[in-house]
Chains A and B, each alone.
Chain A
């Protein structure tokens, strides 16, 4: 069983502040890490797919880093806006080409 853990489970951020949260995954048998944003009443939206140790990806005010040796990824939101409120899911790809999702971090940005 592949354990993918996300922390914290939820966080409140003041509008304009920056924040970050963590995804932990087994470092052995690692192939790729996915990040998705899931807004209420919408479908999950792909943010990044990362494969290389030390890789950094950026999309607007959202960025992510990857450490495959120690098995973690950080997602950063710079200058949080109310529209960033969502659940952020990470998923690890292991052998068998199956994604295993973490429990998500629910972000609420307060105006």
Chain B
């Protein structure tokens, strides 16, 4: 069983919808990440939260809005997405954001934009 839980596992939404992806970990990790993975491509970093503060935004379009309500939860709010945003969205956590600790990943949310 994965220690990082992502919901929903699958999401189909129209371009005008608003939805949210959720991620939860209870390992006491202080860094949390969102990655986007397109088919046959490596995961690409989107956002990094460190101690509940946004520390890295990889020039992600504003239609993706991250939120870290507390140290265990990470959300990704979606609004007015485009078909090219269809992808697997992975959440991960690690003890800290320095990069020398392994990241623990969730199973991902497979997002399809109609």
Contacts and interface: CB of A to CB of B under 8 A. Distances in A.
A103 interface: yes
A43 B4 contact: yes
B4 A49 contact: no
A4 to B, nearest CB: 8
Interface in B34-69: 40-45, 48, 55-56, 58
Given A98-B45, A99-B45, A104-B42, A44 B105 contact: yes
A100 B43 CA distance: 8
Contacts, number: 60
Q: Which of B101, B102, B104, B107 has the most CB of A within 10 A?
A: B102
Contacts of B45: 98-100
Nearest to A104: B42
B42 A97 contact: no
B42 A49 contact: no
- The majority secondary structure among interface residues of chain B is loop
A96 to B, nearest CB: 7
Contacts of B4: 43
A36 B58 CA distance: 22
Given A43-B90, A104-B42, 18 more contacts: A4-B42, A32-B99, A36-B105, A43-B4, A43-B108, A44-B43, A44-B92, A46-B103, A93-B99, A96-B56, A97-B55, A98-B45, A98-B58, A98-B99, A99-B103, A100-B45, A103-B41, A103-B42
Interface of B: 2, 4, 40-45, 48, 55-56, 58, 90, 92, 97-108
21 contacts: A31-B100, A32-B99, A36-B105, A41-B107, A43-B90, A43-B107, A46-B104, A49-B100, A49-B101, A51-B100, A89-B42, A89-B43, A93-B99, A96-B56, A98-B48, A98-B56, A98-B58, A101-B43, A103-B41, A103-B42, A104-B42
